[in-house]
Amino acid sequence: MHEPEFLLFASDATLVGLSGGLLLVIAAVATLADRRRTRRTRIEAVGWVPWTAVYLLAAFVGIILLTLALKGWIAG
């Protein structure tokens, strides 16, 4: 698989920022899935994914990674 040109020469801060952004997107998807699960019509169809834990973990790590990327971008 060919790596895109903008990722090939990206700084470490940019790669960490992209990873943090991806984790925040995953956290948003987990929030929507948890909201969908709480508003289900069939009460016995619970599901097996702990969406709240997925949200908390992804959001926590994503915010930390974006903070570190911001620090790297400011430092240059």
Give the model confidence (pLDDT) of 11-29 as tens digits: 899 999 999 999 999 999 9
* φ/ψ (deg, to 5) at 40: -70, 150
Q: State the average pLDDT over residues 67-71.
A: 97
For 33-63, write each residue's pLDDT tens digit: 999 999 999 988 888 999 999 999 999 999 9
CB-side neighbour CA atoms (13 Å) of 2: 3
pLDDT of the residue at 43: 87
Q: Find out whether 30 and 60 touch, Cβ atoms under 8 Å.
A: no
User: Both tokens of residue 64?
Assistant: 């930390």
